[in-house]
Amino acid sequence: MSRAAAIETPLEHGRREDTGGVQLSGIRKSFGSLDIIHGIDLSIPEGAFTVFVGPSGCGKSTLLRMIAGLEEVTDGLIAIKGRDVTDLDPSDRGIAMVFQSYALYPHMSVRDNLAFGLKMANTPKEEIERRVAAASAILKTDHLLDRRPGQLSGGQRQRVAIGRAIVRKPDVFLFDEPLSNLDAELRVSMRIEIARLHRELGNTMIYVTHDQTEAMTLADGIVVLRDGRIEQVGSPREIYENPANSFVAGFIGSPRMNLLKAKRVGRQSLTLAGAMIEAPFPTDIDDAEEEITLGIRPEHLTVGHETLAGRSLAATVDFSEYLGGTQYLYCQLADGQAVTVEYRSSVPVRSADPIVLSWSPQMTHMFNGDGMRIKPTH
């Protein structure tokens, strides 16, 4: 089990466990009368790679900037390694940050960029040289030391920016969408580089992104945010396989999970697109009919030809995308609801073909009218 399983929320107010990571308790942020962050409690264990993910405007960057000390905290406490840093200067928090725009000092050589923080701290010359050399060896930027940022490519600049963070020997690394300005290929290789860096240094890292691939591949623990609130905290696998609500279910996974409007009829059955189907698991409810959302990921839908009573649905293929190993079918159910299907068979499927979709109940989720997941009762 990954370290992220230790991520806990909510944290008891006032009392912090003596873990070495980052503790947020009751964090709020408002700009004037506008509330951006609505009270966040989070405990990030030492050495974990934690990713804040969410749609734009969800407050993930603001939260990171509050941990960095670049943004004032309206209310709440931030502790790093058990030390209250809520009102400390950014430089006194034991953090280092990598910006989306790299934020290198354009008028300084790479060497001076790396050394700037140490110079400000009056570190002895030999020590600065040693640490700059060590950092640029880790990131393989030795040959760039005498160049200016303007003479570097995007990937090289981001390496230097990461190097500048390493040189500070921080307790916590903060990454604010560091790969967003890179092209797709470079993004993949830098992602691997960052993962390697985390393995080598073993520091606590907090990483903000809107890219769920980055979140899934890098994270020990993912924090899904929406509108300044935590929607779910967990390991990538937990988030993917057991989404707490329909928002998380739809946000994580690509192509996104099919969220189908259905109606619950009794404990065992649902009506979906005009057909009566079996519920994935029995639920205890009062017998009133209830609108629910049925969540099935595209890869858990199977294309067949035979109709199984209560376990399959008819659909029509709108169009398909061929990706080589796999194919995405964009279909419509009888009532017009859109369904995406991952299709791996070599039997060709063409637009307007009628198909029959079936699914395994274990991989199917139900969400109630408020979007919360309905858990199977044991």
Closest to 374 measured CA to CA, from 299, 262, 251: 262
Site string for other proteins, 300-319 (x = CB under 8 A): --------------------
30 binds other proteins (CB under 8 A): no
**CB nearer to other proteins: pick between 176 and 193:** 176
1 binds other proteins (CB under 8 A): no
Helix axes 110-120, 125-138, angle to 10 degrees: 130
Answer yes or no: are the C-beta atoms of 71 and 39 closer than 8 Å.
no
**CB nearer to other proteins: pick between 38 and 148:** 148
Residues binding other proteins: number (CB under 8 A): 25
Q: Which residues of 22-54 are buried (b: 16+ CB within 10 A; e: fewer)?
A: bbbbebbbeeeeeebbebbbbbbbbbbbbbbbb
Answer yes or no: are the C-beta atoms of 292 and 283 closer than 8 Å.
no
89 binds other proteins (CB under 8 A): yes
* CA-to-CA separations, 321 to 121, 174, 186, 327, 330, in angstroms, rounded: 56, 37, 25, 6, 8
The span from the CA of 111 to the CA of 145, in Å, is 5
63 binds other proteins (CB under 8 A): no
Answer yes or no: are the C-beta atoms of 52 and 60 closer than 8 Å.
yes
31 binds other proteins (CB under 8 A): no
- Amino acid at the residue 101: S
- Amino acid at the residue 297: R
The correct pick among 5, 6, 70, 356 for binding other proteins (CB under 8 A) is: 70
373 binds other proteins (CB under 8 A): no
Answer yes or no: are the C-beta atoms of 24 and 40 closer than 8 Å.
yes
The correct pick among 4, 53, 95, 233 for binding other proteins (CB under 8 A) is: 95
125 binds other proteins (CB under 8 A): no
104 binds other proteins (CB under 8 A): yes
85 binds other proteins (CB under 8 A): no
CB atoms within 10 A of CB 245: 21
Listing DSSP states for 350-378 in one string gives -TT-EEEEEE-GGGEEEE-TTSBBPPPP-
- Considering the complex, what minimum distance in angstroms separates the CB of residue 128 from other proteins? 13
- Considering the complex, what minimum distance in angstroms separates the CB of residue 27 from other proteins? 19
109 binds other proteins (CB under 8 A): no
**CB nearer to other proteins: pick between 11 and 166:** 166
**CB nearer to other proteins: pick between 16 and 147:** 147
> Of 86-94, 132-140, 189-197, 250-258, which part binds other proteins (CB under 8 A)?
86-94
Per CB under 8 A, residues contacting other proteins are: 68-70, 89-92, 95-97, 99, 101, 103-107, 116-117, 120-121, 148, 150, 164, 168
